[in-house]
Amino acid sequence: MDWSIEDLNTFRQQQQAQEIELNDTKWEFYDIGEKNSEFSIVFLHGTTGTKEIFWLPMRSFMNKYRVISFDLPPIVGIENLSLGIHEILIRIDIQKIILIGTSFGGYLAQHFCSKYNEMVEKLVLSNTFITTHLYHQKYKKLLSIEKLIPFFLIKRFMKRSLMTLEHDQAREYLIVQLEQSLTKKALMARLKSFITTRTIEVAPSDQVLIIETENDPLVPKQLQNELKEAYPHAIVKSFNKKANHFPYLTMSDDYSQILIDFLKR
């Protein structure tokens, strides 16, 4: 499915974000779709994402499910983020969820599931990891001198991986998100939350779907293998490298169909 920025603007015009304040921190999120569905679908974005980055699969599911997509606020620590997500879901009267996390959001989703397993019916781990030691080796110096580095230099470095995208609309969209929607405070909070030597607890879900991409430019093969070893009974779906790190934007029809098939199981 090809899409345009005009399609995205139509989605923005039709859907209004919600806002809840927890402990002096503002949480923004979409809460759209069928409010009486048995389960709600919850999306957690990656390091440079926002609540709307899953807009294509959100649009596919909103006629049948209640769909939630969070803007992760600048809070350091997956424990604090998980606690906030759980409290918001309880406040808006959601008891059972299908949790879908990509990249950093997948790392966070595993921690959330390990702490609030009674709420998670199914878990989708998309282009993500369970250990972050390779990132820690690569980026720990960046965190130690973050106050000395201008934000435009950090964004320039992160933009390099986006330039490998063959999908023109996705590349344009992600660069605009990086330039206009991401603050240094939010980015550094997310980086500090997963650039560690810690291996998180395996999420105790018996219905897990792993989505990966061959030659993912942001998730090395070693981390992909470690994730699959941690969930030996998971269903695994692989995209070719053309999908890049963002199959929900570059191959959205195929991505949504994989999710639909998994939800039917």
Q: Give pLDDT tens digits for 206-234.
A: 899 999 999 999 999 999 999 999 999 99
Of 36-45, 104-113, 122-131, 176-185, which range is least confident?
176-185
pTM score, whole prediction = 0.94
In which residue are the tokens 């957690």 written? 44
Burial, 161: exposed, middle or buried (Cβ in 10 Å; 0-12, 13-18, 19+)?
Answer: middle
| Model pLDDT for residues 16-31, shown as the tens digit of each residue | 999 999 989 999 999 9
- Check whether 95 has a pLDDT greater than 70: yes
| Model pLDDT for residues 98-120, shown as the tens digit of each residue | 999 999 999 999 999 999 999 99
Domains and CATH numbers, the chain: 5-264 (3.40.50.1820)
- Check whether 2 has a pLDDT greater than 80: no
Looking at per-residue pLDDT, the higher value among 200 and 63 belongs to: 63
* Cβ-contact 124, 149 below 8 angstroms: no
Where b means 16+ CB within 10 Å and e means fewer, 215-233 reads ebebbeeebbebbeebbee
Task: Give helix 78-91 / helix 104-115 axis angle, nearest 10°.
Answer: 70
* Cβ-contact 209, 125 below 8 angstroms: yes
State how far Cα 51 lies from the chain centre.
Answer: 9
What's the Cα-to-Cα distance from 133 to each of 14, 129, 222, 242, rounded to whole Å? 41, 10, 11, 26
Checking 14-19 for CB contacts under 8 A at 24+ apart, the result is: 17/51, 17/71, 18/92
Rounded Cα distance between 7 and 75, Å, is 31
- The pLDDT score that the predictor gives to residue 211 is 98
- Tell me the sheet residues that pair with 102: 126
- The pLDDT score that the predictor gives to residue 1 is 54
Q: What is the DSSP letter of 63?
A: T
Mean pLDDT over 240-252 rounds to 94
Of 115-119, 181-185, 232-236, 248-252, which range is least confident?
181-185
| Model pLDDT for residues 48-83, shown as the tens digit of each residue | 999 999 999 999 999 999 999 999 999 999 999 999
- The pLDDT score that the predictor gives to residue 200 is 84
* Cβ-contact 179, 162 below 8 angstroms: no
